[in-house]
Structure 1
Amino acid sequence: MRRRLILSTLAVVLVVVAVFGISLILVESRSIENSARDSVKSEAVQLVSVVESRIVAGEQVSPATMDNAVPENRHVRIDVPGKKSITLGKRREGRVIEASQTGAHGERITVRQGYSTVQDELNRTLLIILAVALLAVAAAAILAVRQAHRVAAPLTDLAETAERLGSGDPRPRHRRYGVPELDRVADVLDGSADRIGRMLTAERRLAADASHQLRTPLTALSMRLEEIIATADTDDPDDRATVKEEATIALAQVERLTDVVQRLLTNSRDPRSASAVGLDLDEVIKQQVEEWKPAYRSAGRAIVRSGKPGLRVVGTPGAIAGVLATLIENSLMHGAGRVALRTRVTGNQVVVEVTDEGPGVDSGLGSRVFERTVSGHNSTGLGLAVARDLAEADGGRLELLQHHPPVFALFLSRETVGRGRTGENAA
């Protein structure tokens, strides 16, 4: 591209120089020739005046008296009536410029100038025009190279930017080149880089959220299957009933997995597309307690629920279950002692508090515990971040109310006022 720009610029300059140069040569040659003719004619007039003055004064007109009046490099012929013609200067051969003038007493002066003098002047003019043309072409070449670099370098840079985008590097370069059209292309590429970066971030976030959200129900499902395997070969009717119960719970876990996948895919397309409904909070809490009961039993710990029953909230069952499952799993992995789920009402909101008897959350983390990749126990740092996103998608919020012992609270919108009976059931 640079070569084409340089050649095209030089071609234009050469055409312009040729057109104007030839025109200038023609004009100058004619001007020089006309000037020479005028000069010869003027000299002839002057010599006629000199000869006439001598005739009037009665002085002799001879080569000796007229030699000083003849210009150098001229051939002059003086014809006086009744006298022999006088010739002065070297006779010119070839092409000459000639002018004749006749005086009042019949005298005639003829002045000749060789064309070589005119040709020398024309040659000097041609050299000057040629030098100016070469300077113009050289300046044009320098400007063409600079302009080609100014245009080609940004295009090369933009091509590299587009190549980087295609290779998966969406970082915008924010480079501008001082050319409006190229700057517009750079703006479009930077905008595309921002959009691609957001899309890649969303895809990575979806993959991380999906892997984390699926881990909890898969863990619970594996525990249920282990219970089924442990009681599959027994003839005890009670054990067979337990197998049926465990199989039913495992099927519910599969349905929950399907709901989690569907919700993650829906949120990846539009985070505002969650369909909140009125639901019985006791059913969700009971489901979670039943799911995690075997894991806590194996760890020699207990999980209990207390607080105000019969509360109805507005939300998505899968999202609320996912938030509670994350809190319960964190208490199992990082906490100690008994884990308690307590429900209460504050204003027009229902609060589900999850606490345990462990060391709690490092006070240095504070609210940063909900940030992605932030973890005080060498975990992925995604659980609480995903749980907060799920809560906010349903119009609720997840907060850390107390560090030691840890108290996490899930705030949900209340649908109706429940009955005021309080009880406690240990699992």
Structure 2
Amino acid sequence: MRRRLVLAVVGLVAIILVVHDIPLRSHLKRVEQDRVITALERDAFTLAAKSQQLLAGKSPSTDTTPTGVSLSTLVSDYRTNSTAEVLVVSGEGAVQIASDPTVQIGMSFLNRPEIASALLGNSTVGVRRSETLNADLVYAAVPVLTTDFVIGAVRLTYPKSVVDARVASRLRGILLVAFISLLMAFVAALIIASSAVRPLRRLKARTEEIAEGDLSARAEVEGPSEIRELAVSFNEMAARVEKMLAEQRGFAADASHQLRTPLTALRLRIEQAQMSALKPEVGIEELNEDLEAASGEIERLQRLVEQLLALARTEKKNVLGDVNVETVVQGRLEMWNSLAEERNVTLNFGAPGNVLVKAVEGTLEQILDNYIDNALDYAPEHSSISLHIEVSERDVKLSVVDEGPGMPVEARQNAFDRFWRGSESQNRPGGSGLGLSIVAQLAAASGGTVELSQNIPTGLVASVSLRKSAGNK
């Protein structure tokens, strides 16, 4: 990722520099050429003005101006401060003086278009190809004028290669600046990309720590807002994973402990039955008692395994649907009524009409079965168990109220923990401490809550609150 970020930034800067510098090269070349031509034309007019009186004399190279300066001295002085070639011709196009030693005095330059134009009274500037020198020249040619006549011309020339060299020099400076800009862009992009990637690398390191078993590892919440949000989400996920694994480990440990007791009891019962079978004096009745006790331990073990499986199923994500509370309650009362009659306990239910709640299919039935089963175990004879429904604006609360001994506050707070059993239920046959834990998880799977409270004057109120369905009228 860092490499891609750096390449993207440097590539963008490079494109900007290319788009900027290619037109700049043409602009620089044009500006430099215009600057040289302007300077040549200015100097040519200056030399033409100073050459006017000298060209009017008979020996221009040696005659002097009123200030006592000869034409050759003017050309020599100009060449001292400039690399331009100077050429002065008479009105007939014959060379009067030239800074180029290869040009002979008296040679005709009428065939040069700029000289011919200047002798016609025109000043010309531009670039042309010199066949004699086999090179491109930048030139300025101006006439030398008296009052009525053109008496000569002055031409100044530069090799175009000199202009190109100056442009190339400036371009080298621009390229150096561009290179420095690219280098600075690379360094800046590297710093920015490193600062952006650093939190991701730390997050990767925390991920590896968790993968290696350190579930307490958490990511540092730093960097850009997107990275911080990712780190927060990662930490929440890690916390959930740690909690789930801790619960699973605790569940496995508790389940192993709870399974060990009936298995040990079963083994002892079977061993006792085997020993009794080997003793001639032991009767069939005693042997049957041992086998019946072993069978009871098997049933207890089976119930415990079934409850563990039910608890595991409640941890899966399920789909919520509309459930009619009255229909469910009536069905559970019919199922438990016969057992309640055997124990001389009355089941009461005041139906408020059709009430719909949002719940996982089968959840409310299992919750009521656990509540009613517990209530029947502790309800005294000739007492009653009542089912109440309270409907609020958002929730529906279903309560199972018995008239048993109730539970102290501390016991009610711990009753929904896995494998927890109160002191009054330690001797309860078949108890595993998982019933109310299953109830709590079933309610949570449906987005509901559970509660145990004291009934006045005596007994326990076991409640479950579920969200009211939008289908209620």
Give the TM-score band, short-chain normalised.
0.5 to 0.7
Q: Find out whether 1:87 has 2:100 as its counterpart.
A: no
Runs of at least 5 residues in structure 1 that lack an aligned partner in the other structure:
286-306, 316-346, 355-365, 372-380, 400-409, 415-427
Does residue 241 in structure 1 map to residue 282 in structure 2? no
With normalisation by structure 1, the TM-score equals 0.58
Residues 351, 225 of structure 1: CA spacing in aligned structure 2 closer, same or farther, 3 A cutoff?
farther
Seen in structure 2, the aligned counterparts of structure 1 residues 308 and 5 have a Cα distance that, compared at 3 Å, is closer
Q: Is the 8 A contact 1:314 1:412 kept in 2?
A: no
Residue in structure 2 matched with residue 202 of structure 1 by the alignment: 247
Deviation, structure 1 residue 152: 4.6
Secondary structure of the structure 2 residue equivalent to 1:102: strand
Relative to 1, partners in 2 of residues 1:387 and 1:175: Cα closer, same or farther, differing over 3 Å? Answer: farther
Match of 2:21 in 1: 21
Of 8-17 and 213-222, more deviation after overlay is shown by: 8-17
**Number of the residue aligned with 2:31:** 31
The counterpart of 1:258, out of the listed 302, 305, 320, is 302
Q: Over the residues paired in the alignment, what is the CA RMSD in angstroms?
A: 4.9
Contact 2:2 2:197 in 1 (8 A): yes
User: In the alignment, which residue of structure 2 is the partner of 1:276?
Assistant: 370
- 2:185 corresponds, among 120, 137, 140, to 140
2:21 maps to amino acid: G
1:113 CA drift (Å): 3.4
Tell me if the contact between 1:95 and 1:115 (Cα under 8 Å) persists in the aligned partners.
yes
CA distance in 1 between counterparts of 2:285 and 2:183 reads: 100
Give the letter aligned to residue 307 of structure 2.
R
Q: Which amino acid aligns with 2:405?
A: V
Q: How far off is 1:247 after superposition? A: 2.2
Which stretch of structure 1 is more off in the superposition, 96-105 or 161-170? 161-170
| Deviation at residue 141 of structure 1 after TM alignment | 2.5
8 Å Cα contact 1:2/1:152 also seen in 2:
yes
User: 2:309 & 2:12 partners in 1: Cα distance?
Assistant: 61
Match of 2:405 in 1: 351
Deviation of 1:40 after TM superposition, in Å, equals 0.7
SS in 1 for 2:405: strand
| Structure 1 residue 131: Cα displacement | 1.3
The Cα offsets for residues 296-330 of structure 1, whole Å up to 9 and x where unpaired, read as xxxxxxxxxxx965667799xxxxxxxxxxxxxxx
Q: What is the one-letter code of the residue matched to 1:42?
A: R
Q: CA deviation digits over 1:99-131, x for unaligned, max 9?
A: 111254214222233446534422430221121
Deviation for aligned residue 1:142: 1.5
Q: Aligned in 2, Cα 1:277/1:384: closer, same or farther, shift over 3 Å?
A: closer
1:195-344 alignment, distance < 5 Å: 195-225=240-270, 227-229=272-274, 231-233=276-278, 239-270=283-314, 274=367, 275-276=369-370, 278-279=372-373
* Deviation for aligned residue 1:139: 1.3
Equivalent residue in structure 2 for 1:77, among 67, 70, 87 = 87
Q: What is the match of residue 97 of structure 1?
A: 138
> Which position in structure 1 is the counterpart of 2:44?
44
Q: Which runs of 5+ in 2 are unaligned?
A: 57-63, 103-132, 316-362, 388-400, 423-430, 440-449, 463-473
Cα–Cα, structure 1 residues 20 and 99, in superposed 2: closer, same or farther, change >3 Å? Answer: same
What amino acid is the match of 1:128? G
- Measure, in 2, the Cα distance between the counterparts of 1:83 and 1:10: 60
1:173 corresponds to 2:184: no
Within 5 Å, give how 1:397-412 maps onto structure 2.
412=460
Deviations 1:8-41 (A, max 9, x none): 6555554554454343223212221121012111
Deviation string for 1:384-425 (max 9, x for gaps)?
6998775565667699xxxxxxxxxx97459xxxxxxxxxxx
- Taking the aligned partners of 1:20 and 1:40, their CA distance within structure 2 comes to 30
Aligned to 2:71: 63
- Tell me the equivalent position of 1:327: none
Write the distance in 1 (CA, Å) between the matches of 2:372 and 2:435. 16
Q: Measured at CA, do residues 80 and 69 of structure 1 come closer, stay the same or move farther in structure 2, by a change above 3 Å?
A: farther
1:413 and 1:112, CA in 2 relative to 1: closer, same or farther beyond 3 A? closer
Offset, 1:132: 0.6
Task: Name the SS for the 1:198 alignment partner.
Answer: helix
Larger RCO of the pair (alpha carbons < 8 Å, separation 6+): 1
Aligned residues: 330
